[in-house]
Structure 1
Amino acid sequence: MDSGVGLVLLMVLAVSSMFSVVEGFKPSGWTKATATFYGGSDASGTMGGACGYGNLYSTGYGTRTAALSTALFGDGAACGQCYKIICDYRADPRWCLKGVSVTITATNFCPPNYALPNDDGGWCNPPRQHFDMAQPAWEKIGIYRGGIVPVMFQRVPCKKHGGVRFTINGLDYFELVLVSNVAGPGSVQSMSVKGSKTGWLPMSRNWGANWQSNAYLNGQPLSFRVTTTDGQTLVFSDIVPSNWGFGQTFSSRLQFS
């Protein structure tokens, strides 16, 4: 082997050993669950929610969303995840539409109702896996009068237009950063922030898709390092300019696969 080629090969191997290669997110297997609906025919009642995405129309999540039961929500760890759902026609041919599916994004939490039994009104009680879907999404797979239907679901890659977005709220020594429009796995596992005067500072989940830092970062350009729940990591260098203000949203050109 030519010595120059060999040296290049060794350098490539050395560099590659420093990084773990993570492929794009792959669909999961199918699991049984149940589904109801909420929010009205225009899904206006689904706005806001426990993930913090706010107005789902303007932030791009639309009407194909769902609130997840405790067993699925994971204290906000599931925020942004996407699920393909079909109504189990064999189990309930009366209220299920046959041969159709809908893909939804987790944007809210369906709280348990311990005053009602799990099989009669307490649909979101642990350990049930349940989707309280936006009505327009639910009606893609079920007949309105049915109210609740058995479903099969699989977690699937999220498809998004554009890059990941960061919305900064808070005040002075408290930055609350909403991470939205995440493709691929859809959900964030960990996150760090770096200012021009700091090193990388770990952030913690405050609620839903909101991550917090308790550092004074005013007047500094900010970078974020985000790791998704399937292990992909991207660095968004200087995505926030030094003249940023609380309440602003910054869109990147980077996206997860």
Structure 2
Amino acid sequence: MGMRMFFKLSVVLAMYFMRTAFAFDGSWYRSHATFYGEADASGTMGGACGYGNLYTFGYGTNTAALSTALFNNGASCGQCYVIMCDSASVPQWCLPGTSVTITATNFCPPNWDIPSDNGGWCNPPRTHFDMAQPAFEQIAIYQAGIVPVWYRRVSCMKRGNIRLTLNGCKYFNLILVWNVGGPGSIATITIKGENTYWMQMSRNWGANWQVNGCDLTGQSLSFWIMNTYWQSMYFPEVVPYNWIYSQTYEGYTNFY
């Protein structure tokens, strides 16, 4: 497919999906929240999305691990949610009039050895937020342990542009996409070296996307990235020909 035709098709698809895609409806949903880590956040770094040090990646400690029902096999990585403690149900544990906006950066796995209503909080089909302790303590008292909450998904407001961190090896390229505004999460990515055709990437784990069997070293790299708002952006030669693994490169814009 030629570059011009690919561009036209992508613009048409983006305009169509932006009109028809699911929009955040503003509705509040019930769930529960617990916390993990320590108050100094030393136990909240890393996670199943691959962001590593959450300070370095700009997510801080307003973060949470999502249960299976919300995590969606990593497709929810980077999404943002407003969470409020349900003070009508447990006024003794909630901090009234408070809320916190968190980013999904981790996975809360099920524990089938514990009942879902007595410790197995992240067991399907439950929705659940296992929050970093500093985030939890913005809405509830530490001693509560677990509280009922109201939540809704919201747009992510990020400073700066989209960032891409390159990992892998010669015939296996792994791209970590982060600092994504708008929905915070990615639907599809295609990649092109200056000497290759466009190749569809697949999700490897969390926010890491892969393409196999093609040596892209020594080539500048271009990307088409579509977010889960179905907005599409083209990043021509955003990665220079002399790129190296473990290096992060910045896109020219972001989603809002």
Q: Normalised by the size of structure 2, how large is the TM-score?
A: 0.91
**Is the partner of 1:234 in helix, strand or coil?**
strand
SS in 1 for 2:134: helix
Q: 1:165 to 1:147 in 2, by over 3 A?
A: same
Residues 64-93 of structure 1 deviation map (CA, whole Å, 9 limit, x = unaligned): 000000000000000000000000000111
Stretches of structure 2 lacking an aligned partner (at least 5 in a row): 1-10
**Per-residue deviation, 1:107:** 0.1
Q: 1:169 to 1:27 in 2, by over 3 A?
A: farther
Given that 1:169 and 1:247 are in contact with CA atoms closer than 8 Å, whether structure 2 keeps it comes out as yes
Is 1:204 the counterpart of 2:202? The answer is yes
Q: 2:14·2:231 contact (CA, 8 Å) conserved in 1? A: no
Q: For 2:91 and 2:71, how far apart are their aligned partners in 1?
A: 28
- State the structure with more CA Rg: 1
Alignment of 1:14-25 (within 5 A): 20=15, 22=18
Structure 2 residue aligned with 1:7: none
- Give the deviation of 1:140 after TM superposition: 0.4
Task: Name the structure 2 match of 1:245.
Answer: 244
CA drift at 1:28: 3.6
Using the TM superposition, give the Cα deviation of residue 111 of structure 1 relative to its aligned residue in structure 2, in angstroms.
Answer: 0.5
- Determine helix, strand or coil for the equivalent of 1:56: coil
User: 1:17 and 1:42, CA in 2 relative to 1: closer, same or farther beyond 3 A?
Assistant: closer
Aligned to 2:69, which of 68, 71, 74?
71
The CA deviation string for residues 20-46 of structure 1, in whole angstroms up to 9 with x for no partner, is 163796464110000000110021211
RMSD: 1.6
How far did residue 94 of structure 1 move?
A: 1.2
Amino acid at match of 1:36: T
8 Å contact from structure 2 (residues 14, 230) kept in 1? no
Matches within 5 A, 1:145-184: 145-184=143-182
Contact map agreement 1:162 1:253 (CA 8 A) in 2: no
Match of 2:116 in 1: 118
Q: Distance in 1 between matches of 2:51 and 2:149?
A: 26
2:15 aligns to what SS in structure 1? coil
Q: Percent identity?
A: 58
State the partner residue of 1:84.
Answer: 82
2-structure distance, mates of 1:223, 1:49: 28
Displacement after TM superposition at 1:253 (Å):
2.4
CA drift of 1:236 comes to 1.0
Distance 1:213 1:17, change over 3 A: closer
Which of structure 1's runs of 4+ aligned residues deviate more than 2 A? 16-19, 21-28
Q: Which amino acid aligns with 2:228?
A: T
CA distance in 2, matches of 1:37, 1:129: 14
How many residue pairs get aligned? The number is: 242
Aligned AA (1:247) = S
- Which deviates the most, 40-49 or 106-115? 40-49
What is the TM-score normalised by the length of structure 1? 0.91
- For 1:104-115, what aligned pairs fall within 5 Å after superposition? 104-115=102-113
C-alpha distance in structure 2 between counterparts of 1:183 and 1:111, whole Å? 26
**Cα distance change on mapping 1:206 and 1:19 into 2, 3 Å:** closer
Q: Structure 1 residues 152, 63: closer, same or farther in 2, change over 3 A?
A: same
1:252 CA drift (Å): 1.6
Match of 1:6 in 2: none
Aligned partner of 1:43 in structure 2 is: 41
Unaligned runs of 5+ in 1: 1-15
Tell me how far apart the structure 2 counterparts of residues 28 and 88 of structure 1 sit (CA, whole Å): 17
Q: Which residue of 1 is the match for residue 99 of structure 2? A: 101
